[in-house]
Amino acid sequence: MDIPGRTIVVAGAAGHLGSAVAAALTDRGANVAGLDLRASGEGGQVSTVRADAADETSAVAAVDEIEKRFGTIDALVNCSGLIHSEPLVNLTNPQRRRHGIQTWDAVIRANLTAAFVLGSVVAERMAAARTKGAIVQFSSIAANGNPGQTAYSAAKAGIEALTRVWARELGPLGIRVVAIAPGFVDTPSTRDAVNEAALGELKRKTPLRRLAAPAEVANAVLFALESDFLTGCTLHVDGGLVL
């Protein structure tokens, strides 16, 4: 895909990774339509629609609005999500010794249900318009199974399965589906979810001895969009770290 002039939806555009992806796409000449639950209106060069990607009615309304503003959608980059750390069993917490079902539901909804709902809406529009486009989903190194992140790891493993299934279903329609699996990225959300001691240990275990910069993850998104024979796979941007 030639990015200049293309209309690309970035879900989670108000987040730390989403804003980096939106900026990289804008710099490359794309027409970027942001979608986020936390923001609306104009943010720099990115027009952002406020919507809940996990709610079908909200997602359809947002895509309708984006199509009215920009016309046919060429690609979706789904950066929305929620990092959460919680052990399966915590005997030191007498109030709640098991992983909470409420947090499980919230993490699965934010990371997996949102990708399914918004992705299905955009894929339908692309197929109906005969658009040969791309969907880029965000997985994580945690998809391999990160202790202390039951819900988050399960959601991201689901993203990678969804990517493989959709690539096979949508490929004949000319729609590619790729997942990006970052390692630990230097953002406030990462530092909120992982304490400094644990981050220091992760840096030590990473061959490159540091966290990723958001711009480095955005570069992987550009590569996925521009590589027209790439589909059904997960690109690992993890500095060589193996969990």
Residues 135 and 78: beta-carbon distance below 8 Å: yes
Residues 143 and 157: beta-carbon distance below 8 Å: yes
Question: Residue 154 pLDDT more than 50?
Answer: yes
Residues 6+ apart with CB under 8 A from 103: 84, 86, 151
Residue range 21-37: mean pLDDT, rounded: 96
- The whole-angstrom separation of Cα 234 and Cα 81 is 17
Strands (E), the chain: 7-11, 31-36, 41-43, 46-50, 75-78, 134-138, 176-182, 234-237
Mean predicted lDDT score pLDDT of the chain: 94
Question: Residue 44 pLDDT more than 70?
Answer: no
Task: Supply angle C-alpha 18, 142, 230, rounded to 5.
Answer: 60
Domain 7-235's class? alpha beta
Q: How far is CA 233 from CA 84, 138, 203, 215, in A?
A: 25, 12, 26, 21
HSE-up of 27 (CA within 13 Å, CB side)?
10
Which is nearest to 9 in space by CA: 81, 54, 67, 83?
A: 67
- Catalytic sites, residue numbers: 152
Q: Give this prediction's pTM.
A: 0.92
Which of the two residues, 80 and 225, has the higher pLDDT score? 225
Residue range 86-106: mean pLDDT, rounded: 93
Which of the two residues, 139 and 146, has the higher pLDDT score? 139
Q: How far is CA 118 from CA 63, 112, 113, in A?
A: 9, 10, 9
| Eight-state DSSP code of residue 132 | -
Residues 6+ apart with CB under 8 A from 116: 162
Question: Residue 47 pLDDT more than 90?
Answer: no
- Rounded percentage of the chain residues whose pLDDT exceeds 70: 97
Give the start-to-end residue ranges of the domains of the chain. Answer: 7-235
Beta bridge partners of 181: 236
Quick count: other Cβ atoms within 10 Å of Cβ 5? 9
Beta bridge partners of 48: 34, 41
In this predicted structure, what is the pLDDT of residue 45? 65
Considering 46-50, 122-126, 183-187, the range whose residues carry the highest mean pLDDT is 122-126
Question: Residue 41 pLDDT more than 70?
Answer: no
In this predicted structure, what is the pLDDT of residue 39? 63
- The whole-angstrom separation of Cα 228 and Cα 193 is 35
Question: Residue 172 pLDDT more than 50?
Answer: yes
In this predicted structure, what is the pLDDT of residue 107? 97
In this predicted structure, what is the pLDDT of residue 110? 97
Question: Residue 42 pLDDT more than 70?
Answer: no
Residue range 188-210: mean pLDDT, rounded: 88
In this predicted structure, what is the pLDDT of residue 95? 87
